[in-house]
Amino acid sequence: MTDPIIEAGTPVRPRISGSVSAPANTAGTSLIIERLGLVDYMPTWKQMRETTLARTADEPDQLWLLQHTPVYTLGLAARAAHLPRTANQIPVVKSDRGGQITYHGPGQIIVYTLVDLRRLGIGVRQLVRLLEQSVIDLLKQYKVAARGSEQAPGVYVSDAKIAALGLRIRNGCSYHGLSLNVDMDLAPFADIDPCGYPGLGVSQLRDLGIDEDINTLGEKLLASLQANLWGQQPMETR
């Protein structure tokens, strides 16, 4: 028996609060950074989808830094065989991102990337590589060697996955983004085939000896994303 699957439109108590916007300029491009804290998946997904569908060509890109309450999310490529194997009371949500199944929970950094690919002059494959590189560059600061994968996008340390990617492109703009395991309960991954791969190991920064505060790591990841996507370190203005 598995937990019930929640579809888009199912009423869920919203928990988006504490949003703080901080404008930044990189290479002359306006960028909005949202730091949302710990939030539920469904209202956050709805908000980023609506933001993407409503945005115009001159609106700034956005990065949303957050953590999620426990949830499994199914990508468009997910199959019934990927559902959790036990009833662990963690909700399962059918999402519109690419990929298969993954788990989100407290202690994991999420960055949603609401980016106009046409304005940056890149395609979705290049965006995936840049997101991977941003995590790789962050881990390099802690002398951890990591790699991406063209066959199974994400970031790996040895053979264990430490960061997952999933995107949706609408009207040339992306939403969803990446997750980086920092200091979390990894047990829910054991009930699934992470990203659809049976036996795939999952790691986190704490197990690699990195005990940096998750908020500090989140800010460093934002800086790495800005360096890779827009070519400069962030220059925040108020």
Catalytic positions, please? Answer: 195
In whole angstroms, give the CA distance from residue 78 to residue 129.
22
Q: Please check whether residue 107 is in contact with residue 179, taking contact to mean a CB–CB distance below 8 angstroms.
A: no
CA gap 211, 27 in Å, rounded: 32
Contact 74, 94 (CB under 8 A): yes
Nearest to 107 by CA among 186, 165, 14, 197: 186
Query: CA torsion, points 103, 67, 235, 224, in degrees to nearest 10?
Result: -30
